[in-house]
Chains A and B, each alone.
Chain A
Amino acid sequence: MMVASVDFQTLSDAIGLGAIYALMAVGIGLVFGVLRLVNFAYGQLVMAGAYTLAFTSGWPVAGSILACFAVVVALSLAMERAVFRPLRGQSPAVMLVTTFAIAFVLQAIALIVDLRDNTIGEIASSAAPLNRSVSVGGVDVRKITIVAIAVAVVTLALLALLLTRTTIGLHTRAAASDFRTARLLGVRANRVIGFAALLSGVLAATVSVLLTVQAPFVSPDFALRDTIVVLVGVVVGGIDRLWTATLGGFTIGFASGVINGALPTDKTVYLPSAVFALVILVLLLRPAGLFAWGRHAAAERV
């Protein structure tokens, strides 16, 4: 019986992946909180950011990253304004299919843009050196892993401060908890939703920077797989509250990283089945999410 081997490199890479997925989970959870909408096109935001980095890879690093943020945030706000706002209050099926249609459109546009020079995919890497390892206490850890974890921690901390210490943050949390009551107290619905879309975009841009360093080749389905995995993680963790969603994202990222690194390839063919069977099991036992508790765990969200 082969024993899976988990070395420190695998572990640290897994934590790094978990950190990135945690950021994506927050982006998805924020929009869900205020709009009750699962944004299937979230991965496309990350893709747009990656493409921006690719097209500006000749620029100085700071300028490139700034452009990335600008494009992604603009796209996120545009999505909110043009599509999410008119669809507020519709059935989950409609909102889901619409966000998927948007994802479809954006991916197809990327395909057209990309095909003009007869190759699919661009290289976006001015920060490739970060992919090399550095020795930490006698163990090899990739620099990008450290950067990813650091960026994630700082971002999440800033976000927590923003949500708990500012007025707009308070209003957003209230809107996510009970939109109707928040409105009748005077909370401006559009402002709060725009704020959530803004933050969601900033997070997506951050993720695209972190991902392109690790995998500099950008193609139209960049981050598509990741989005689905994060989505599963978010729902399994508990989409109702921001921190359970984040924890869910981190957990599934970490678990993916560990399993992928630990098991030899020939044993991993049925891995997806095992993982998804586990997902089903968790959802059957705790439909509101693994980490949900109290009144949230009791609710069967329809």
Chain B
Amino acid sequence: MRSRIDSLVELAGPVALVVVVGLVATTVSRANEIYALNALVSVAIVVAIYVFVGTSGVLSFGQISFVAVGAFAAGIMTVPLESKRGVLTEIFPLLRDHTIGNLPSYLLAAAVGGVFAFVVGLPLMRLSGLAAGIATLAVLEITHNVLREWTSIGPGATTLALVPETVGPLQATVGAIIAILVAFGYQRSRPGRLLRATREDPAAARGVGVDVHRQRLLAFTLSGALAGFAGGLLVHLLGSITTEQVYLELTFLTLAMLVVGGLTSLWGAVVGALAVSGLDSFLSQAEQGIHVGLKIDLPSGTRLVILGALMTVVLVLRPSGLTGGREFGLPTRMRR
């Protein structure tokens, strides 16, 4: 059946790309491995954002809040008891006196992200456009503020360190693939297609009785859970986390990755994350001097300029993103 094969192909593209990056991570030197792993974790984050923003068309600046709570939850609960008692002296006993394993920490991260998203989404999903953008930005700001000040639930303004660094090529690749599978499953499901319809023709969708608020809430919650999970990946990759690492800069970077890749497709999310990550890594290297046929040695600071400039150029020339907003497909087939 053609559509079945089409689906498999659509899924195979992103998965294959991620697997390739994972393999690359195993072959390069330790110093370079971090770039590849970073790229894979970025995939997970951007795919999580895509699940909501790409499907509903509503711009949210708040998804990184869920990455943040997921990261801190997974991090705090996996720091070894001895260190935790010594460093995080003010946190609640429930948090201080228990630790959980690696896999449970991912589940916890997803759960915390999902619940938080649900609670936030209940009132907020009625909003659209700029109002939604500002309201979700407000959520990000509140999350940042609370995480920074409330020392009973975490390290506050200090770095949360000594988190087990369990994310190597295997966990990063599997994590990214899990995110892709969940996103793929959602967008093929009935709720996913209903929500996409509301983006493409809101009036018609309401006309046939689609409950926009409910569908958005579902996507938002799922996105939050996935983002929380990605936060778990992030903290287990870095071995530490601070509130500044999951705040405005990451928000804009991941949003830019999504838009540059192509806002409306899963393929776009994956391509965007990998492309921008890859470029960023390359430029970081170039700042230190590398040989790629010719010697490239960029003055320091130009990396950011080039990154931003290239993103601008891509968007001006091709506003629908690198993938044109389309899913991965074999060249011989006609895509919508």
Contact of B59 among A90, A92, A104, A231 (CB under 8 A): A92
Residues of B within 8 A of A134 (CB): none
A106 to B127, CA, bound (A): 32
Q: How many residues of A contact B (CB 8 A)?
A: 45
Counting CB contacts under 8 A, is B25 at the interface?
no
Question: B37-45, B72-80, B133-141, B178-186: which one contacts chain A?
Answer: B133-141
Say which residue of B149, B304, B315 sits within 8 Å of A94 (CB atoms).
B315
In the bound complex, CA of A89 to CA of B130 (Å): 16
Residues of B within 8 A of A269 (CB): 145, 149
Instruction: Tell me the total A-B contact number using a CB cutoff of 8 A.
Output: 139
* B301-321 vs A, Cβ < 8 Å mask (1 yes, 0 no): 110110111011001100100
**Beta-carbon contact of A270 and B263 below 8 Å:** no
* Residues of chain A from 99 to 137 with CB closer than 8 A to chain B in the complex: 100-102, 104-105, 107-109, 111-112, 115
Q: Is A272 an interface residue (CB 8 A)?
A: yes
- Which secondary structure dominates where chain A touches chain B? helix
A98 and B316 form a contact (CB under 8 A): yes
- Residues of B within 8 Å of A300, CB to CB, are 127-129, 131
In the complex, the answer to whether B304 meets A104 with C-beta atoms within 8 Å is: yes
Min CB distance, B244 to chain A, in Å?
13
Q: Is B86 an interface residue (CB 8 A)?
A: no
The contact of B131 among A82, A276, A283, by CB within 8 Å, is A283
Knowing A232-B137, A276-B138, A283-B135, say if A270 contacts B301 (CB, 8 Å).
no
By a CB distance below 8 angstroms, the chain A residues around B145 are 269-270, 272-273, 276
Give A residues with C-beta under 8 Å from B. Answer: 38, 82-83, 86-87, 90-94, 96-98, 100-102, 104-105, 107-109, 111-112, 115, 228, 231-232, 235-236, 239, 269-270, 272-273, 276-277, 279-280, 283-284, 287-288, 300-302
| Docked CA distance A102–B141 (Å) | 23
Q: Within 8 Å of chain A (Cβ to Cβ): is B293?
A: no
Choice from B129, B134, B299, B301 contacting A236 with Cβ under 8 Å: B134
Inter-chain contacts of A301 with B (CB < 8 A): 128-131
User: What distance in Å separates the Cβ of A245 from its nearest Cβ neighbour in chain B?
Assistant: 11
**Segment of B189-197, B228-236, B251-259 engaged in the interface with chain A:** B251-259
